[in-house]
Amino acid sequence: MFTALFGSVELGLIYGIMALGVYLSFRVLNFPDLTVDGSFVTGGAVAAIMIVSGYSPILATLAAVGAGFIAGSITGTLHAKGKINPLLSGILMMIALYSINLRIMGNSPNIPLMREDTIMTMFQSFWATLPFDGWMTSLFTTLNLPFTPSTWGILLFAIMIVIVVKLFTDFFLSTEVGLAIRATGDNPRMISSLSANTDRLKILGLGISNAFVALSGAIVTQYSSFVDVNMGIGMIIIGLASVIIGEAIFGKGSIFKITIAVIVGAVIYRMVVALALRVGFLETGDMKLITAIIVIGALVVPRLLENGKERRRKYRKARKIKEQYGGEKSVAATKSDL
């Protein structure tokens, strides 16, 4: 079980990059962008096909980022220039990407990367030259812990890359263009009266959002040594779940805090799924159902808690007032006086 949880932390951090992309479109731009289901696979497909064709994994990953950016900016263009409703623009792009992804993958529904060099194996072989894993193993055995992860390299790699993306997001959203993008989601009328081209900002924002998603897809592909044309189904919901779980736990503060919350949300989501799958009667096929239930829970539970708190507050107040003023009797008394 600990091994499963350890794995879910690794994977959760990588999916955290995707969640940051969803945060950009869904929260910052206020644009529910369904392109994500397609662009996640696009990232994986581009990376996989380039690695199989012998390109450097780093170049392949960068190309995946570029492909995601293009996909997102097309969605943005459909909406901004074609005046198509945001949800519909995303769905159209998602559908179109399914075929495009298949084409990228040479018309095969999946590509294995078993004996290929990936960005993971590259980091891993560098990591193996450091004595860190050996230290941790001896530490874990002396502490008598029930499990020892085979390597810490992947976890460290995931942490590093997600932090880079987080810091980039934080910085970008504080630049002059970044501020204008935030205002485009917050008050488009105001920012266009301040000489900002909201069409261009939306296209740019969705491009960056999907570049993150594709980066995440490319790294997940290299992590699992496998890309499947269907691996993006429901991705937008996973991203949303991460954003919502993060916000539910950490609240809405500065951008710096929210981006941490989103990443932690992604990790928590993965851990909940890993734990749920260990429950006897649930099967792998139930994943999407579990996801839906987690999102519904994250949306509804904070509301219920808030309602309960408010009810108790009113109840306490009513009792206090009753003690002070002697209840509703006085009203009845005045009425009978009339």
Partner 1 sequence: MLQLSQIFKVFNEGTTDEKAALENVYLDLKDGDFVTVIGSNGAGKSTLMNLIAGNLTPDVGKILIDTKDVTRLKEHERSKLIGRVFQDPMAGTAPSMTIEENMAMAYSRTRKRSFFAKGVTKSRKTFFKEQLESLGLGLEDRLNAKVGFLSGGERQALSLLMATFTDPSILLLDEHTAALDPSRAELITDKTKEIVSKNELTTLMVTHNMQQALDLGNRLIMMDKGQIIFEAEGEEKQRLTVERLLEEFQKIQGNQLANDRAILSH
Binding site for partner 1 (CB under 8 A): 172, 174-180, 182-183, 186-187, 189-198
Q: Which is nearer to partner 1, 18 or 183 (CB)?
A: 183
Closest CA to 215 of 55, 66, 52, 35: 66
130 close to 69: Cβ distance less than 8 angstroms: no
Q: Which is nearer to partner 1, 24 or 45 (CB)?
A: 24
* CA–CA gap between residue 338 and residue 336 (Å, rounded): 5
Q: How many CA atoms lie within 13 A of 135 on its CB side?
A: 8
19 close to 262: Cβ distance less than 8 angstroms: yes
- Nearest distance in Å: CB 183, partner 1: 4
Q: Which is nearer to partner 1, 28 or 45 (CB)?
A: 28
- Nearest distance in Å: CB 201, partner 1: 9
Q: Which is nearer to partner 1, 59 or 179 (CB)?
A: 179
Token pair for 255: 């951008």
- Nearest distance in Å: CB 122, partner 1: 30
Closest CA to 37 of 82, 100, 83: 100
Q: Which is nearer to partner 1, 101 or 259 (CB)?
A: 259
Q: Which is nearer to partner 1, 119 or 261 (CB)?
A: 261
Using only the alpha carbons of the chain, give its radius of gyration.
Answer: 24
The torsion angles phi and psi of 21, rounded to 5 degrees, stand at: -60, -45
Token pair for 155: 């976890």
- Nearest distance in Å: CB 76, partner 1: 16
Token pair for 139: 């530490």
- Nearest distance in Å: CB 204, partner 1: 9
- Nearest distance in Å: CB 179, partner 1: 4
